[in-house]
Structure 1
Amino acid sequence: MTEKFVEILTIPFIRTTKDVFVNRIIYPRLMNEQKTFVVTANPEIVEYANKHEEYKQIILSADYITPDGIGIIYASKWLKQPLEERITGYDMMHDLFELANLHELKVYMLGAEEAVIEAAVEKVKQQYPHSRIVGHHHGYINIEDQELAKSIADLKPDIILTALGFPKQEQWVNMHKHLFEKGLFMGVGGSFDVLAEKVQRAPVIWQKVNLEWLYRLIQQPTRWQRMMVLPKFMLNVLKEKG
């Protein structure tokens, strides 16, 4: 199928729904063992990429960039190229676990604190018993450590989830994916914290009214400085709109 993209502040987002993306694009690539790099980008990542050229080139090297953040959806509407819906890293992570469960795919989980990653792995084993978690490692690593990356590649995982936070999770993929014969690589930020129930995800009603960001801010007040990127992003979009 031919994919359509919408460019927002120089970053091309795929224009589709989550179900179509997972089932008609990602699933066939997994089955064909095509190496695939997915970036789930929110306004913060877009702003950071446009200020850091090396990171921007890593983002642009991805096979697909999905709109993770309601700000990206609003921006697309303002630019009169509306994206269909948010495709969040957390939701897609669960879809990937489901595919792994159905097809007994091998998964490697990298990131978060030791206790968090251990709890997250147990949750996956409970919820997706037929998925094959071939390994996991906490996120307190030197991302240039090629020995660790090679040990992961030797396990031949089908899905590699990196929860190192941006920009490290994408930098890690960029540095090491050449070591792998196959695999879908995706950064998932703080998703392991939610999976392990260290952090609660916003209730569905908050998600439906696009206030998930506010719920997270209430839970983690230290995020307020990161939230200050949002008005800058929106202002830059309005400037682009002219």
Structure 2
Amino acid sequence: MTEKFVEILTIPFIDSNMDEFMNGMIYPRLMNQEKTFVVTANPEIVEYANEHQDYKDIIISADYITPDGVGIIMASKWLNQPLQERITGFDLMNELFRVADEKALKVYLLGAEESVIEAAALKVKELYPGLELVGYNHGYIDIKDDTLPKSIAELEPDIILTALGFPRQEKWVSRHYALFNKGLFMGVGGSFDVLAGKVNRAPVFWQKMRLEWLYRLIQQPSRWKRMLALPRFVLKVRRLRKTVQRS
């Protein structure tokens, strides 16, 4: 399958839809036990990457960067390179669980508070009894320590999901990637909180109105500082749009 990418503020996003991405790109790599690094990026991550070169180098090294966030989709339209659709970390996580359930793949969960990861693990076992949950661990770890990743690698998981929040989750993957012989690695941010029922995902109406960010902010007011990246991102895209139009 020919893979197409669209660059948004120097970050290359895969131009695909969920069905095409999962069945045409991810599924074959899982079945071939091909190591894969997926980053699901929103405007906050793009802004952070462009301000921190070490982090930018990490996410650009990923096999795929998917557009997680309506801001990325809107930006692609403003730049006349419209991406097909959002591929969110939460939805992609559940698609991976579905494939793991069907093919009896091994899954490892890393991140969140201890009570949250335990509840999330129980939910995964309940919803996807066919997959093999080989282990899980809370996210209060030293990401530089090799002890835990070495023990995870010995379990030979097919899918490793890290909910450490950016940039820690991608830094953890990058630092320990070489320890693993196989596996799909993906940071999922606060997805375990949603899975465990600690945080509710925005209802479909809010998603369709492109207000998922506001719904999340209402539930987690402490995120307001992170939300300041959104207007900066929009301003940069608008400036780039004017440059593109003049050229």
SS at match of 2:236: helix
SS at match of 1:134: strand
* Distance in 1 of aligned mates of 2:177 and 2:235: 35
Corresponding residue for residue 59 of structure 1 = 59
Deviation at 1:205, TM superposition (A): 1.4
SS at match of 2:109: strand
Corresponding residue for residue 169 of structure 1 = 169
- 1:4-153 to 2 correspondence within 5 Å? 4-153=4-153
Contiguous gaps of at least 5 residues in structure 2: none
- What is the one-letter code of the residue matched to 1:63? D
- What is the one-letter code of the residue matched to 1:121? A
Aligned length: 242
- 1:183-222 to 2 correspondence within 5 Å? 183-222=183-222
Q: Could you tell which deviates more after superposition, 96-105 or 215-224?
A: 215-224
Contiguous gaps of at least 5 residues in structure 1: none
- What is the one-letter code of the residue matched to 1:221? P
- What is the one-letter code of the residue matched to 1:107? V
State TM-score, norm by structure 1: 0.99
CA deviation map 1:153-185 (0-9, x unaligned): 000000000000000000000000100010000
State TM-score, norm by structure 2: 0.97
- What is the one-letter code of the residue matched to 2:159? I
Deviation at 1:22, TM superposition (A): 0.8
SS at match of 1:161: strand
Runs of 4+ in 1 over 6 A off after TM superposition: none
- What is the one-letter code of the residue matched to 2:8? I
CA deviation map 1:96-131 (0-9, x unaligned): 000000000000000000000000000000000011
* Distance in 1 of aligned mates of 2:228 and 2:52: 18
Deviation at 1:217, TM superposition (A): 1.0
* Distance in 2 of aligned mates of 1:149 and 1:51: 28
SS at match of 2:239: helix
- What is the one-letter code of the residue matched to 1:142? D
* Distance in 2 of aligned mates of 1:214 and 1:30: 35
SS at match of 1:153: helix
* Distance in 1 of aligned mates of 2:103 and 2:28: 12
* Distance in 1 of aligned mates of 2:170 and 2:222: 23
* Distance in 2 of aligned mates of 1:18 and 1:209: 20
CA deviation map 1:165-213 (0-9, x unaligned): 0000000000001000100000000000000000011111111221111
* Distance in 2 of aligned mates of 1:97 and 1:225: 32
Q: Could you tell which deviates more after superposition, 200-209 or 132-141?
A: 200-209
- What is the one-letter code of the residue matched to 1:20? E
